[in-house]
Each structure stands twice: as C-alpha cells, then as structure tokens.
Amino acid sequence: MSSASAAAAAVLLSALLFVSCTRTVQFVDLQGGAALTGTHSPWRRSITVTLPTGETVAGTYTKLAASDMGPESLFFGANAGELLGRHAVDRVYGYVRLTGEQGNVVEMIFASDWLGNGHGVARTSSKEEYRVTF
C-alpha cells in the first residue's frame, strides 16, 4: 500500500471512529451535588440523560442564538456570557432543549471546543440547575 493510500485509510478510520463514538456527559446538581450521567453524540449532535425520576430526556443541539433564550426559554433574561465564562474564539456555543416522554424539559447552553469537549449549564422545568461537562 502506498503512503498516500495508508494516509487516506487512517483518515477514514479516524472519521469512522469519531462518527460512531458517543461521549459521557455529566450533570451535577448545583443544590445537592447529585450527579446524572448521559450521552453526547457529536455526529448526531444529540444529548440524552435520564432524570432522577427515571424519565429519559433527549434532544438535538444547535448553535446558540439569541432567539433560543426568548420568553419561552428556561434561560429567559440570563446572560450566557456570565453563565459560560469569557468569550473565546476557539469555542462553539450551543443550545439544546431536551424533552421527555412524561413532559419534563431540560434546556442546556454550552461552550465546546472543536474536539467536542465542553461545559455548560442546564435548567429543568422543575427548577433544578446543573453544571454540565462533556
């Protein structure tokens, strides 16, 4: 195999591993410190977590826009910059609304790097707040 073919095969293998991987996302309750563990799929741009009630909430994230934090949002009136830390050019800012089969809602805003590692804040429709890392 030529070095060009080997390089192409390595790139393809790396891409396939990235596509198929899911990562752990950790939600830590800011009041009691209890932790929830979910999954983050960078390829599908999705996050899933099971709440303490046993309900699974899931959603697909998008780039954070001002309209995401409008009057219907659990983050209405919040300052994303204060919640996520200082602005950095190497960060992507995102938003996800996770919904469950029993009607619970979790909204999350986050900042991540180009490798998909990040942090954020999540709020639930039952007024809990979590620090999120992935």
User: Which tops the pLDDT comparison, 20 or 39?
Assistant: 39
Expressed in angstroms, the distance from the first to the final Cα of the chain is 38
82 falls in which pLDDT band (50, 70, 90)? confident
Convert the pLDDT of each residue in 40-74 to its tens digit.
Answer: 988 888 999 999 999 999 999 999 998 898 999 99
Q: What is the dihedral of CA 27, 20, 109, 100, to 10 degrees?
A: -70
**Which pLDDT value is given to residue 19?**
47
Q: From CA 77, how far away is CA 69, in angstroms rounded?
A: 7
For 76-97, give the DSSP string: TT--HHHHH-S--TT-EEEEEE
Question: SS3 of 115, please?
Answer: coil
In this prediction the pTM is: 0.78
Determine how β-strand 129-133 pairs with β-strand 105-112: unpaired
Convert the pLDDT of each residue in 90-117 to its tens digit.
Answer: 678 899 999 999 999 999 999 988 777 8
Judge residue 2's burial from the number of C-beta atoms within 10 Å of its C-beta, 0-12 exposed, 13-18 middle, 19 or more buried.
exposed
Q: From CA 94, how far away is CA 62, in angstroms rounded?
A: 6
Q: Which helix (H) or strand (E) holds 19?
A: helix 3-20
Structure tokens at 59: 């959603």
**Which pLDDT value is given to residue 86?**
66
